[in-house]
Amino acid sequence: MLQARAKVGNGKAKSPPGAEINILGAITFTAAPGGYQVEIDVASGKLAIPAAALDSYAACRRELLKRHAVRLVLWEVEDCRIAREARAAWLEAVDIAVQRGRATEVASYLKSGELDGVYQVRFWRGTFWLWRKGWYGELPLSEVRSHLAGHLNQHFAKLTTGITANCLMQLQAQTLLGSHVEAPAWLPGSDAPFPASETLVCRNMMVHLPGYLDGAERLCRPLTPRLFSTCGLDFDFERDAPAPVEWQKFLQTLWPDDPDSIDTLREWFGYSLLPDTSQHKILMLIGPKRSGKETVARVLRRLVGERNSAAPTLASLGTNFGLQPLLGKTLAVIGDARLGGRADLPQITERLLSISGEDDSGD
């Protein structure tokens, strides 16, 4: 329920005779089927406009002005200046109520999808993001507009582009997450049980991976939209999962007499599960054709998730927008590293150093 108040000077009216009329009113909008029930509260009583007469806020605005103008005539206000001021004041009051009404509509839309006390939609760095049971995925603007219009259709008989645009702006304001926030991160006001950068998001739960490996079972928590993460695994976390027998056999065929290489690859797979580059390292697999390099890369991509990985070429890293495919990804797999005579080797080297060194300069 919304209220807007407008106050102007006093005017004398002949009905009731000799009475001082203080034009002070409140407009109340109440959602109703087919429109809005509008009630105007004035000193002389209440005037109710049925919802059937209103098909939009614009119609509500026109109806209020029309009804109020009639009331001014009935009052026979002697001072025309008072009448003009009253009309302008009501116009301003209605506009304020309309904007608040749209903000409330958006809030109710977000409230319908609330989980764990927070909205499941976030507006971050110019894009809408929707929580998808563990991780936030980018949501096209056209899809956001369609979902919002579907909600507004319940309260507007005539939905205009202006109403939708204003509500979309309200949606951005009410779900804004500052561009300074680096994913993964806990939403403001959330109680962080463990560092977001060390959290493994699976389909059934989130796990503080370092703590779990140290034997802390309590560091497994239910999924929550309070963790803003754009990456999540496509499978469940199983505490008692069986050993990957076939995978171990495959590694034994690659390095039958080199257990250190197997341990290094296993450790690298573990680091790849988290968006962590604190080791400042890049893994290189060297071997002849059909030696298993592509199989290892394919398994790693499936483990991390195809949507979380990129496959740039080494030469593309030396171009102006070579790093663009890596945005929002936790894994980059470069296949056969081949460079032509025109490749910018210093630029490529600098880009690789900037990725592994967590800086922009490559130093």
106-122 pLDDT per residue, tens: 888 898 889 999 999 99
Cα–Cα distance for residue pair 91/64, rounded to 1 Å: 8
| pLDDT for residue 52 | 44
Please state, rounded to an integer, the average pLDDT across all residues of the chain.
Answer: 76
Would you say residue 127 has pLDDT above 50? yes
* Poorest-pLDDT segment among 80-94, 259-273, 319-333: 80-94
Q: What pLDDT is attached to residue 13?
A: 33
CA distances (Å), 8 to each of 17, 66, 67, 89, 152, in order? 21, 18, 18, 7, 34
Q: Is the pLDDT of residue 99 over 90?
A: no
Question: pLDDT tens digits for 171-226?
Answer: 999 999 999 999 999 999 999 999 999 999 999 999 998 888 887 766 889 999 99
What pLDDT was estimated at residue 51? 43
Ordered by start, the domain boundaries in the chain are 2-100, 112-239, 245-356
**157 confidence band (pLDDT: 50, 70, 90):** low
Is residue 36 helix, strand or coil?
strand
For the whole model, what pTM was predicted? Answer: 0.71
Average of pLDDT values for 74-88?
47
3-state class (DSSP) for residue 121:
strand
Rounded to the nearest 10 degrees, how much is the dihedral formed by the CA atoms of 285, 290, 296, 299?
150
Q: Shortest CA distance to 135 belongs to which of 307, 324, 310?
A: 307
8 vs 238, more confident: 238
CB burial readout 243-255, b (16+ within 10 A) else e: eeeeeeeebeebe
